Amino acid sequence: MTPQSVATPSGESGAAPDMFTRERIGEGGAARVATLVALLDAQEQQPAVRRLRTWAFEAVAPQPGESVVDVGAGTGTELRRLADAVAPNGRAVGIEPNPGLREVAAQRAALMGSTGTFIDGDAADLPFADGAVHVLRCERVFQHLRDPQAAAHEFARVLAPGGRVAVLDSDWGTVISHPGDPDVVRRYTEAARARMPNPFAARHLPHQLRTAGLLVDHDIGSAALVMPPRALLGSGVVHRNADAAVEDGALTREEADRLLADAMAAARSGTAFYSVTMFGVVGRKPG
């Protein structure tokens, strides 16, 4: 769940780096849920996201009759895909701690006739018996975890022998941001990362899955998620991050204002460029 800029019908715009953390569930009420839904809907339309999701789906290859789980199911798009693959006798469960997103996911699943169900849960404490899951996927959750290794161990615990897991996440050390003075952009970016629990999530995934006892595929998937320049104009995230950088002492007010002015001018002219790279890692339970 990458924090990327998007304007929403609720009037609340953008996404702070920690908007998807468990600690902030419930903040902002219905307006915040609407923001998150709009954000997730916009992201899943991005070709980069679709490519990486398809790569992961094909790698774990869910089969009819299997048990599949999506940890951090959001609005349920990928769980519906998994549910279709394991029908008619399989079981598909989406783990989503945010009750507002869980409600939207359940409503959409019902409208589309999906057999998937959505329940509360935590990546490091899944409500499944040892070896009960054949396929598990988890997308852009680890960046929000303070103990990602605990989640990796939990994934290995619930996987059946021969089970497969695909973990997709961003690495915020890969951010490219233009325009701006390079030193100012660096300090702005570092200040935003400092507010995230696990900003370099993706680079640690292979080691974390291996430490949990899983066999990791050599092929690591990747896709650069590039924000359309004009998306910056409808978003407040750049402004909020700049204000936070000033508050944290990473930027002066003058530096922040110049960076914002340059970014908005570039967005209007179509020359702004902002990207972060997502990676996908597949693990397999021996046996």
Domain parsing of the chain, residue ranges: 22-173+198-226+278-284
| Coil/strand/helix, residue 110 | helix
Residues sharing a CB contact under 8 Å with residue 228, sequence separation 6 or more, in sequence order: none
pLDDT at res. 18: 54
Burial of 40 (0-12, 13-18, 19+ CB in 10 A): buried
| Residue 180: per-residue pLDDT | 95
Residue 25's pLDDT band, with cuts at 50, 70 and 90, is low
Total count of residues recorded for the chain: 287
What pLDDT, on a 0 to 100 scale, did the predictor assign at position 9? 34
What pLDDT score does 23 carry? 56
Look up residue 1 and give its two tokens: 């769940």
The pLDDT value recorded for residue 280 is: 98
For residue 55, is pLDDT > 90? Answer: yes
| Mean pLDDT calculated for residue range 156-181 | 97
- The whole-number average pLDDT for the span 208-225 is 98
Residue 26 has a pLDDT of 60
Q: What is the pLDDT of residue 14?
A: 43
Q: What is the fold, at CATH topology level, of the domain defined by 22-173+198-226+278-284?
A: Rossmann fold (3.40.50)
Q: What is the pLDDT of residues 77-134, one digit of tens each?
A: 999 999 999 999 999 999 999 999 999 999 999 999 888 999 999 999 999 999 999 9
- 275 by DSSP, 3-state: which? strand
What is the predicted pLDDT for the residue at 10?
Answer: 34
